[in-house]
Amino acid sequence: MKDYLELSPAVKAALLVGDPVVALESTIISHGMPYPQNVETALRVEEAVRQAGAVPATICVIKGKLKAGLTADEIEYLGKNGPAVTKASRRDLPVLVARGADGATTVATTMIIAHLAGIQVFATGGIGGVHRGAETTMDISADLEELGRTPVMVICAGAKAILDLGLTLEYLETKGVPVIGYGTEELPAFYTRTSGFRVDYRIDTPEELAAAFRAQQEMGLGGGMLVTNPIPEEYSMDPVRINAAIDQAVADSRRLGIHGKETTPYLLARVKELTGGDSLDANIQLVLNNARLAARTAAALARR
């Protein structure tokens, strides 16, 4: 594995002594936001992790190396190249590594590389899931499969609201993935704090999150844990407005024949357009909120 995996000096030093580390994905840099906002946001998220007491480890593939921990120049490189960087899921890793190519990691691939590096906690915006109409398209994110197999705690603001949230929860139940609501009994819906769907358990402190994850791993149950952390109330969007924008974006994507891994970037960009940029502002705030909780939880795990 040493031929494939490369840790930054800060991440390597932290892991060596058992200090808290938080993994961060890179598709939000290359495919989630326009330049230069993507780079600015990535650096703000890293700083939020540091301020909350942990070491950030932004994850990606650069020149065939699985990297955990990036320099500011590497983040700038991903941001400037944007969608030209391959959106890399599990299936893409062997070819990207063999070719010495670049890849921005999805939730699934970030989990894989985090686990290989020994990082237990990962903060993101929202996970992928079962897309609307999946009963005919079979469009289901690899993120759900990864949560069922890879032992990493993923802290997010729920599944992206462009998805079928009910079916996403059913899929996670089948895979045995605990879905935790941080301070809530209801699944957050990314841009909004509520969805109408219940989570499996409510947990109110980072210490209890750490204890639950530790128990899961020590019992050998396998798989990951999903923690859903509602967007701060002051940044939550009006449900009627955002759902109307999502419905329009989904209809537009179907009309244009967009599918597969192009679906989520298109929908997020179209929703941003339809909301006059308000959805992007909400996205940034929820990611920062998740990064802070992830850092506090990683610190609680490290204190044992």
Comparing CA positions, the residue from 240, 232, 272 lying closest to residue 264 is 272
Residue 10 and residue 151: Cα distance in Å, rounded? 23
SS3 114: helix
Enumerate the H helices of the chain as residue ranges: 9-17, 27-30, 37-51, 72-81, 93-99, 107-117, 134-137, 142-149, 165-174, 206-218, 239-256, 263-274, 278-302
Exactly one of 67, 160, 261, 272 is catalytic; which is it?
160
Residue type, 77: Y
SS3 300: helix
Residue 259 and residue 276: Cα distance in Å, rounded? 24
25 is catalytic: yes
SS3 198: strand
Residue 31 and residue 155: Cα distance in Å, rounded? 20
SS3 57: strand
SS3 176: coil
Q: What are phi and psi of 131, to 5 degrees?
A: -75, 155
Residue 231 and residue 223: Cα distance in Å, rounded? 25
Here the tokens at position 293 are: 């909780």
- Asked if residue 56 lies in contact with residue 74, where contact means CB atoms within 8 angstroms, the answer is no
160 is catalytic: yes
- Asked if residue 131 lies in contact with residue 19, where contact means CB atoms within 8 angstroms, the answer is no
Comparing CA positions, the residue from 48, 65, 77 lying closest to residue 7 is 65
Residue type, 241: R
Exactly one of 25, 46, 76, 146 is catalytic; which is it?
25
Question: Active-site residue numbers?
Answer: 25, 160
